[in-house]
Amino acid sequence: MSSTNTSDKNLADVEEGKDSIAFFYIFFGVALFLPYSLYVVVSNNPAALGGFAYHPPLGAIALSAMAYGISALQPARKPDGVEKALDLHGFFIGLVAVPLVLISGTIMYQRKEDRGQPHYVSWHGIVGITTVLLAFIQAIFGVLLSWGYLPRKLYRYHRQSGYAVFTILVLAFMLGGLYSNFIVRHAWTATRFLAYGLGPLSVWGGVVARIRSRKLW
């Protein structure tokens, strides 16, 4: 075996080990905020919350799905693996994460309309609507790429903008979990910071650790 092949194999082994550790952090973060987001709504009379009862769980599921959709594609190397990874990527992001982001944002918009409250006055609201708009644009970008309407050389820009959208979604989720009135009133401070501080950061760190810089630039 040539020194080049040995070097490539060693690099692949190192990356695989790093990927496994990073995926643990993704799973760990999701395990912190996803069950708790369901619990905090279910334990506080969800029927009385109206449409808002769906907002925290939908945000948690959307973030989880986006993290898995991204991480499924990051380590793909062989052609057949890339095809399967692209299918998972399209399903979890295009059919789960982005629609849930749009639905969650629409719920909050309508809630404020019904109550006559101003829109986008908090950082959570501002970053949230930014996430909705960018996620929609990113999804359209991805569809055009996958259907062959855009040149493949644009894939790297789709990756770059995708990581940016993911980061903004993490920020929106953290702001809502750490500072929104509902969560502040109904969650213990320590639990809140574990679920909505450490949890999303763990997921974000796991996804970022799996980035291949050679594919990004």
- What does the alpha-carbon distance between residue 93 and residue 4 come to, in Å, rounded to a whole number? 36
Contact indicator for 197, 29 with CB cutoff of 8 Å: no
Fold entry, domain 12-216: Four Helix Bundle (Hemerythrin (Met), subunit A) (1.20.120)
Residue 47 clears pLDDT 70, i.e. is over it:
yes
* CA distance to 30, 104, 117, per residue, from 59 (Å): 12, 7, 21
pTM above 0.85, yes or no: yes
Interhelix angle 55-73/79-89, rounded to 10 degrees, is 170
Residue 139: HSE in the Cβ half-sphere, 13 Å Cα cutoff: 21
Ordered by start, the domain boundaries in the chain are 12-216
Residue 93 has pLDDT above 60, yes or no: yes
What span, in angstroms and rounded, lies between the C-alpha atoms of 24 and 19? Answer: 9
Give the tens place of pLDDT for each residue, 96-108: 999 999 999 999 9
Higher pLDDT, 197 or 3: 197
Closest CA to 174 of 206, 201, 210, 146: 201
pLDDT tens digit sequence for 124-135 = 999 999 999 999
Is the confidence at residue 184, as pLDDT, over 70? yes
